[in-house]
């Protein structure tokens, strides 16, 4: 019998950058999006908002936290933003897109996050999977 399935997933900055590339909110131009993972659960999202044809740089830096068994977020109470208003459309858009890049609710099996942390250049996710679908699949293939 399988009582528990545990996992650890490592996500690199390039993978998140690729996920965020090319997406923009309506009526906004965002370019040069880069995500940096630092020590101590710190995430930095840097980009340029195009205004009158000129790229105006902005950054958002903050710690990650688990908000549910399937989602993480950049802690809005500790987020530091430089370059655009805190409630700016580009910031909300990139924050939401970043957070949706790791949403276990969309997986075909029940998964639960137990830990999310960063080290230089990497996002580390730990959790567990419900073993029932794997056991059922094994039984189905035997019949």
Name which of 119, 126, 95 is nearest 42 in CA terms. 119
Please say if the pLDDT value at position 106 is more than 90: no
Cβ contact 12:122 at 8 Å: yes
Mean pLDDT of 126-142: 69
Looking at residue 131, its pLDDT comes to: 78
Q: For residue range 55-100, list pLDDT tens digits in order.
A: 888 888 999 999 888 889 988 888 888 876 555 677 888 888 888 8
Name the pLDDT band for 121 (thresholds 50, 70, 90).
Answer: very high
How far is C-alpha 107 from the geometric centre of its chain's CA atoms?
A: 15
Please determine, for residue 124, whether its predicted confidence score (pLDDT) is greater than 70.
yes
pLDDT higher than 90, residue 143: no
| Environment class of 86 (CB within 10 Å of its CB; exposed 0-12, middle 13-18, buried 19+) | exposed
pLDDT at 140: 59
pTM (global) more than 0.75: yes
By C-alpha distance, which of 107, 106, 102, 125 is closest to 19? 102
pLDDT attached to residue 22 = 73
Task: Indicate if the pLDDT at residue 104 is higher than 80.
Answer: no
pLDDT tens figures, 3-42 = 778 999 999 999 888 888 877 777 778 888 899 999 989 9
- Token pair 């794997």 is found at 134
């Amino acid at each position: 019998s399988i009582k528990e399935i545990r996992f650890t997933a490592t996500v690199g900055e390039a993978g998140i950058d690729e996920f965020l590339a090319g997406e923009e909110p309506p009526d906004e131009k965002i370019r040069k999006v880069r995500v940096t993972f630092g020590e101590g659960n710190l995430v930095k999202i840097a980009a340029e908002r195009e205004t009158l044809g000129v790229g105006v740089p902005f950054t958002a830096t903050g710690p990650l936290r688990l908000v549910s068994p399937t989602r993480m977020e950049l802690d809005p109470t500790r987020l530091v933003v430089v370059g655009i208003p805190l409630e700016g459309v580009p910031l909300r858009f990139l924050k939401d897109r970043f957070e949706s890049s790791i949403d276990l609710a969309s997986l075909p099996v029940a998964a639960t996050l137990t830990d999310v942390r960063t080290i230089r250049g990497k996002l580390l996710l730990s959790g567990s999977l419900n073993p029932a679908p794997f056991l059922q699949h094994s039984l189905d293939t035997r019949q």
